[in-house]
Amino acid sequence: MKIYHWSFIILIFMMGGIITCDGDKGLSPTPWIEGKIYIESIQRVEEGQTGDMVVVVAPDFPPQKWTDIIKTPPLRFNRNVNKDTIEYRVPLNYGEYSVVAVLWKPKGEEWSFETISNILGVYTAPNLFKPKPVTITEKDEFISGVDIYADFGFVRYGAFLEGTITYTGDFNPETDMMILASFPMKPETVIDYLFALGWDLTLPIQESAYKPYRFTLNVAPAYHKYIALFWRRKKGGPYDFKKIADLMFPDDLPQIGAFVPEGTYLGKGETMSSFVSDSGDTVKIDLVADFSKTYD
């Protein structure tokens, strides 16, 4: 089954809370949107961690306020198979909706929409690399065919990176948001960003410019090679991000052959706050972010 991927930049719409719509068809206002969710890799999530899955809809990209985001009740799906297909319906008012997505949370945890761990799929089109909007007019009773490919392979959780971000230079008042991310390689192309091992879109903005900020980044148990902080300006386009800080991790294994993984291995349940460099020195995960780079 083909799954349409998208750039990591579109994840910025996951910045806030949500409101719940009644899923009872007898109470649902018209019109509505409906479609199928094609779920992949369900068995990748460990027993007891499957949790709940919902469809969310936002009119703006990114949402202007938390209450703009609408969600379905938890969707029922077969947790004992690798693939499943379910149908959903979301009652909505007339208008254009920029994002329709499938979200997930582990069992026993609160809803959070800030990391890649929660995003299983987005309604899009082949090679679009961004959400495909849905428009409902007064002529429409409903919009069908809003199908989403959801993949539990996107789930990232279970290990942690800890460190500090210190900002230098004059704070840019055009700052809209910052993203902290870890990768198995230093990303060079848009496709490389799809292999992120963990994201945090909830970093404080202006208050962090005046004092060091301690972070704990929830990431996948894996080899981590590179961590970076990205900056975005207000009213910027979906690809208008700038890297303002980064740090490279050393390799645990000698690079002999093409298939030896790069980076430092971080196991499930482990927390890494420092590492031993190639020269034998202990290095803390401290990032120095330069606001002067945002004025270019």
How far apart CA 30 and CA 33 sit, in angstroms, is 9
* Residue written as token pair 């349940």: 269
pTM of the model: 0.64
Angle at 277 between CA 276 and CA 280, to 5 degrees: 75
pLDDT band at residue 266 under the 50/70/90 scheme = very high
pLDDT tens by residue, 242-255: 999 999 999 998 87
- How would DSSP label each residue in 247-259? EEPPPSS---STT
State which of 86-95, 97-106, 172-181, 257-266 shows the largest mean pLDDT. 86-95
Give the number of other CB atoms < 10 A from CB of residue 225.
20
pLDDT of residue 239: 63
The set of residues, in sequence order, having a beta carbon less than 8 Å from that of 109 and lying 6+ positions away, is 51
pLDDT band at residue 42 under the 50/70/90 scheme = confident
Structure tokens at 37: 């969710």
Buried (b) or exposed (e) across 50-67, using 16+ Cβ within 10 A?
A: bbebbbbbbbebbbeeee
Domain spans, the chain: 8-154, 159-295
pLDDT tens by residue, 179-205: 899 999 998 876 677 778 888 877 888
Could you tell me which residues are beta bridge partners of residue 286?
164
How far apart CA 232 and CA 120 sit, in angstroms, is 24
Phi, psi at 82, each rounded to 5°: -90, -25
Domain 8-154 has CATH 2.60.40: yes
Q: Which of 83-87, 139-143, 156-160 has the lowest mean pLDDT?
A: 156-160
Cβ 42 vs Cβ 79: under 8 Å: yes
